[in-house]
Amino acid sequence: MSKTPKDRAATSEKFINLKVTNPPKNSVGFGALKSAVTQVSKYMKPSDALKISTKINQKGGFDCPGCAWPDPDDERSALGEYCENGMKAMAEEAQKNTIGASFFAKHSVDELSEWSDFEIGKSGRLAEPMYLPKGATHYQPISWKDAFNKVATHLNALNTPDEAVFYTSGRTTNEAAFLYQLFVREYGTANLPDCSNMCHEASGKALSETLGIGKGSVTLNDLYKAEVVMVVGQNPGTNHPRMLTALEKCKNNGGKIITINPLKEVGLMKFTNPQSPLKMLSGGTALTDVFVPVTINGDVAFFKAILLKLLEKEETTGNVFDKAFINEYTSGYDAFIKDLKQYSFDDCLKASGVSKATFNAVFDIILNNNKIIICWAMGLTQHENAVDNIRELVNLLLLKGSIGKEGAGTCPVRGHSNVQGDRTVGIWEAAPQAFLDKIEAKYGFKPTTKHGYSVIDAIEGMYKKEAKVFFGLGGNFISAVPDTNYSAQALANCNLTVHVSTKLNRSHLVTGKEALILPCLGRAEKDYQKSGIQTQSVENSMGVVSSTKGILEPCSDKIISEVAVVCGIANATLKNRSKIDWLAYKDDYALVRNDIEEVVDGFKDYNTKLKQPSGFYLPNGARVRQFKTKTGKANFSINKLPEWKLKQDELVMMTIRSHDQFNTTIYGLNDRYRGVFNERRIIFMNKDDMKSRGLEEQQVVQLQSTFNGVVRKANNFKVVGYDIPKYCCATYFPEANVLVPLDNFAHTAKTPASKSIVITVHAN
Ligand SMILES: Nc1nc2c(c(=O)[nH]1)N[C@H]1C(S)=C(S)[C@@H](COP(=O)(O)OP(=O)(O)OC[C@H]3O[C@@H](n4cnc5c(=O)[nH]c(N)nc54)[C@H](O)[C@@H]3O)O[C@H]1N2
Ligand SMILES: Nc1nc2c(c(=O)[nH]1)N[C@H]1C(S)=C(S)[C@@H](COP(=O)(O)OP(=O)(O)OC[C@H]3O[C@@H](n4cnc5c(=O)[nH]c(N)nc54)[C@H](O)[C@@H]3O)O[C@H]1N2
Ligand SMILES: [Mo]
C-alpha cells in the first residue's frame, strides 16, 4: 500500500538528541566563522569554496542566493561581503554530490518521504530531469524534449488556462521571472502565486495604500545616518546577518537602536564584526539600546501607546509633530487623530505586554529624534492584522515627518534574494492594469485582466479540483504553505505537478497523478548559451538592481538554466499560436532585458546600466516625497487594536526560523543563538506557563490548534523553557505548519497568520 499524500508531506517525528544551553551573549565573531567553515568543508569541493568566498556579493561577482539584504554601494570589505549564513546557503547550493537516475531507481518516492528534511536536502544536487508516471513508485529519467512536451500536453488539455497554477519562489532572476510571467499571461491566466504571498504581501499592501509604493523607502546610507532605527519583528542575526554591520555603523555614528520582539534575539544584542579582527578580540559592539519584549501581536498596541503619548505632548507643547510635513504631504490627519483619541494609553500599554519603564525609555528616544527608520520582517507580516501593523508604524513616521529625507523612512527587510525583483517584473497575480496594457502594446496579445490565485487561493483551487496542473519555478510549496495535511491533498488532486529545482525537496514527493522534476542551474554556476556566458540581474531589498554571473562549472551537463526551461515550455505549449519568438531569448538574455526596459518602469538603458559595478537604483516616489496614492498624498490610516481573548489553557504560537535553516532547507540541526542543539521538534515556552501546566523541561508534548471549529494536531515536540513573554510560545517552521490554519490569514493581503496561532499543549 503506498503512503497517503498526508504521510508523504509529514516532517519526520523522530527525535535526534536535544541539548539545551544558555543562549550566547554575543553573535557572529569566531562562532560564525567556525560554523560556516564546517559547513563549507563538509559539503563543497575545496576549489569551489575558495572561488565562492572571494566572489560572493562582490562587484562583478554573483549575488548570494540567501537573503535580499543590499550590498554597500561603495566600499566592500576585502574579506568579501562575508556572512555565515550566506556561506551556508552556498555550501548547500554548490554541494559536491549529485543525484540522478540511479539514485531515484534505488529510492522510491515513499521511501524518500520517510527521510527527514535535513537528509533530503543533503542528498545532493539534482542532475537530470526525472518523471514519475501515473501509478509508478519511482521517478525515472526523461529527456528535456519529452519533459517539455509532457507539460505542454497537460496544459493544452485543460478546459481553461485558469486550471493551471504557476508558483514562483523568490530566487528566480529578473530575466527568468519576466519570461515566466509573460508565458503564463500569453498562455491565458494570471494564476501567479508566489512566496511573497506568504511573506511581505502585507507590507506591499500597507505601503502602497499609505505611501504609494509597495517597497521600502530607505537606502543603506540612510541606515548609517539614522538617529533611531527600530527593528520590529525581525531576527537579522540569523536571517540578514549583513544588516548587523549596517546597524553597527549607525551606532558608531551615534544612532540608537530599539528592538521590538518577544524574543531577545542574540544577534541584535551584541555583534562582533567578522571583518574586524580587533573587535573579535575585544568582544564586539552592543547594538540594542532598548529591548522591548512585546507580546506576540502586541505591536499595534505598543505603537498606539507611543502615538497617544506623542499626541499628548504635542497638545501641551506644540512642537512634537512635523506640522509642515503633515500639512504639505499628508492626508487623513484629522480622522486619524479623532480615532486615536478613543483609545486609552493604559489599555494599549497593557495589551502590548510592555512595562512602563521600558515604554518610557523608548518614548524618550522617539520624542527627541526626527530621523527614524523602522525595519521589520515576518514578526509583523504574518498576522491576521498584518496590514494594520505596518500602517500603524507608517502613522508614527508621518507624524514625525520621518520619511523622504536622509536617515529616515520605511525598511521592510525582504526575504529571498530576488523576491522584490520578481514582483517588479510582473510575478503578480493582481498586476496593475497599466502593466498589462504595456504587455498588450508590446506583444499584441491581451492578457487576462481577471486576478489570479494567490497561494491560499491556489491551494483551495487544487483541493476543489478547479486547478489541475501545478508548476513551481523554485521553492518547496508543500513545506512552505500552511495546513500541511490539507495542502498535501490539494497537490495530490492535480493531474500533473512540476518543479524546477536545484535540490530535492518534499514537494517532489507529494505529487499529482504524474510528476516532473526539472533540475536547473544555481546562482553560482556559469550559464553557457549561444552568445556566451550569461549575466542575469536581481533587485535587493532597497530597490537596487545589480548583475549576477556564475563562476562555478555546472554540477551536471544535463541541467539547464531557468530561462531555458521557461523558453522550452513556452515554445512547446504555445507553438504557432504564440506571438513571441521564445527560443531567441535563451540564446542571449540581453534581449530579455530589452523587453523589460520597454514594459517595466524604471529600467531605461537596462543593459548599459547593469554594467555599472554597483548596479542602479529603481525610482522610488516615497524616497523623494512623491506619494503616488489615490489622494496624491501620504495617507494616515485608522487601525484597530486587536482583541485577544485566550481561554485559560491557550497560548499564542509563532512559527520561526532556526539559525541553521533557509526556509524549508535545513542546513543543520542547531539553533546556536538560542542555545538549542540537535533538535528541531521543540516548543519554546515561558517557564510560568510550563509550571501552570505541570510540564517539565524536555517533556514530550502534543500541540493542538483550533480554528473555526477545526482541530489540528502535531505530535512529538519537546518543551524548552525560554525567556519569552507569558502566553506566548514558539516552534520552528516547517515542522509546525500542520497547525497553521489555511483560513487564518491577513485581511486584504492573505498572508497566512503563521506568527499567531492559538494552540493548547498536551502531555503525550
Ligand atoms: N539564514 C536564513 N536567512 C533567511 C531566511 C532563512 O530561513 N534563513 N529566510 C529568508 C526569508 S524568505 C525571509 S522572509 C526572512 C525572514 O526573516 P525574519 O522575519 O527575521 O524571520 P523569522 O524567523 O520568521 O523571525 C521573525 C522574528 O519576529 C519575531 N516575532 C514573531 N512574532 C512577533 C510579533 O508579533 N511581534 C514582534 N514584534 N515580533 C515578532 C520573532 O521572535 C522573530 O525574531 O529571512 C530571509 N533570510
Ligand atoms: N509556518 C511558517 N510558514 C512559512 C513561513 C513562516 O515564517 N512560518 N515563512 C514563509 C516565507 S516568508 C516564505 S518566503 C516561504 C518560502 O517558501 P519557498 O520559497 O517555496 O521555499 P524555500 O524553502 O525557500 O524553497 C527551497 C527550494 O527551492 C529550490 N531552489 C533553491 N535555489 C533555487 C534556484 O536557484 N532555482 C530554482 N528553480 N530552485 C531553487 C530548492 O529545490 C529548494 O529545495 O515560506 C513561508 N512559510
Ligand atoms: Mo520570505
Separation CA 339–CA 316 (nearest Å): 19
Domain assignment present for residue 632? The answer is no
Regarding beta strands 270-272 and 285-286, do their DSSP bridges make them parallel or antiparallel, or are they unpaired? antiparallel
Same domain, 608 and 704: no
| Closest ligand 2 atom to Cα of 473 | 38
| Closest ligand 1 atom to Cα of 85 | 1
Separation CA 550–CA 93 (nearest Å): 12
| Domain edge (last residue) among 378, 412, 446 | 412
In short, whether 83's Cβ falls inside 6 Å of ligand 1 is no
Same domain, 443 and 408: no
| Closest ligand 1 atom to Cα of 383 | 35
Among 194, 198, 235, 266, residue to substitute to test ligand 1 (most atoms within 8 Å of Cβ)? 235
In short, whether 68's Cβ falls inside 6 Å of ligand 1 is no
Q: Which residues contact 77 (CB under 8 A, 6 or more apart)?
A: 275
Same domain, 405 and 424: no
Separation CA 487–CA 662 (nearest Å): 21
Among the listed residues 518, 479, 475, the one whose alpha carbon sits nearest the alpha carbon of residue 498: 518
| Distance from the first to the final alpha carbon of the chain | 28
Same domain, 395 and 422: no
Q: What local confidence, expressed as pLDDT, does residue 698 receive?
A: 97
Among 238, 423, 476, residue to substitute to test ligand 2 (most atoms within 8 Å of Cβ)? 476
Burial status of residue 280 (CB atoms within 10 A of its CB: 0-12, 13-18, 19 or more): middle
Same domain, 407 and 423: no
- Residue 67 Cα to ligand 3 midpoint, Å, equals 9
| Closest ligand 1 atom to Cα of 296 | 35
- Residue 141 Cα to ligand 1 midpoint, Å, equals 38
Domain residues for 17?
5-26+645-763
Q: What local confidence, expressed as pLDDT, does residue 599 receive?
A: 98
Same domain, 234 and 383: yes
Q: Which ligand is nearest to the CA of 484?
A: 2
| Domain edge (last residue) among 397, 412, 427 | 412
Three-class DSSP category at 393:
helix
Q: Which residues contact 20 (CB under 8 A, 6 or more apart)?
A: 675, 676, 677, 697, 698, 720
Sign of CA dihedral 184, 185, 191, 192: positive
Q: Which ligand is nearest to the CA of 659?
A: 1
In short, whether 378's Cβ falls inside 6 Å of ligand 2 is yes
Q: How far is CA 756 from CA 81, 420, 652, in A?
A: 35, 25, 6
The protein residue whose alpha carbon is closest to atom 31 in ligand 1 is 379
Separation CA 307–CA 396 (nearest Å): 7
Q: What local confidence, expressed as pLDDT, does residue 282 receive?
A: 57
The three cell numbers locating residue 497:
505537478
Same domain, 581 and 527: yes
In short, whether 663's Cβ falls inside 6 Å of ligand 1 is yes
Q: What local confidence, expressed as pLDDT, does residue 77 receive?
A: 59
Same domain, 10 and 74: no
| Domain edge (last residue) among 362, 383, 412 | 412
| Closest ligand 1 atom to Cα of 378 | 19
The string of DSSP letters for 140-175 reads EE--HHHHHHHHHHHHHHSSSGGGEEEEE-TTS-HH
The three cell numbers locating residue 32:
560564525
Q: Specify whether the CB–CB gap between 406 and 623 falls below 8 A.
A: no
Same domain, 592 and 449: yes
In short, whether 423's Cβ falls inside 6 Å of ligand 1 is no
Q: How far is CA 208 from CA 323, 380, 631, in A?
A: 23, 16, 12
The string of DSSP letters for 90-104 reads HHHHT-S-EE-HHHH
Q: How many CB atoms lie within 10 A of CB 450?
A: 11
Q: How far is CA 345 from CA 195, 322, 642, in A?
A: 37, 22, 15
The three cell numbers locating residue 447:
492578457
Same domain, 718 and 688: yes
Give the CATH number for residue 655. Answer: 2.40.40.20
> What is the torsion angle, in degrees rounded to the nearest 10, for the CA atoms of residue 240, residue 241, residue 242 and residue 245?
130
Q: Specify whether the CB–CB gap between 763 and 730 falls below 8 A.
A: no
Domain assignment present for residue 568? The answer is yes
Consecutive 10-residue averages of pLDDT for the chain (764 residues): 93 93 80 72 76 72 82 65 78 88 98 96 96 98 98 98 98 98 98 98 98 98 98 96 93 97 93 65 80 98 98 97 98 98 98 98 98 98 98 98 98 96 98 98 98 98 98 98 98 98 98 98 96 97 95 96 98 97 97 98 97 94 98 98 95 97 95 96 98 97 97 98 98 98 97 98 92
Question: Phi and psi (nearest 5°) for 493?
Answer: -75, -15
Q: What local confidence, expressed as pLDDT, does residue 281 receive?
A: 54
Q: Which ligand is nearest to the CA of 296?
A: 1
The protein residue whose alpha carbon is closest to atom 20 in ligand 2 is 475
Among the listed residues 495, 489, 497, the one whose alpha carbon sits nearest the alpha carbon of residue 470: 497
Q: Specify whether the CB–CB gap between 507 and 762 falls below 8 A.
A: no
| Cis omega (within 30 of 0) for bond into 734 | yes
The protein residue whose alpha carbon is closest to atom 14 in ligand 1 is 415
Q: Which ligand is nearest to the CA of 169?
A: 2
Same domain, 280 and 367: yes
Total structural domains in the chain? 3
The protein residue whose alpha carbon is closest to atom 17 in ligand 2 is 480
Domain assignment present for residue 157? The answer is yes
Domain assignment present for residue 250? The answer is yes
- Residue 66 Cα to ligand 3 midpoint, Å, equals 11
In short, whether 299's Cβ falls inside 6 Å of ligand 1 is yes
Q: What local confidence, expressed as pLDDT, does residue 46 receive?
A: 74
- Residue 381 Cα to ligand 1 midpoint, Å, equals 10
Q: Specify whether the CB–CB gap between 250 and 9 falls below 8 A.
A: no
In short, whether 503's Cβ falls inside 6 Å of ligand 2 is yes
In short, whether 654's Cβ falls inside 6 Å of ligand 1 is yes
The three cell numbers locating residue 564:
531555458
Separation CA 190–CA 161 (nearest Å): 9
Q: What local confidence, expressed as pLDDT, does residue 49 receive?
A: 74
The three cell numbers locating residue 270:
551584541
User: CA geometry: angle at 681 spanning 677 and 685, to 5°?
Assistant: 85
Q: Which ligand is nearest to the CA of 733?
A: 2
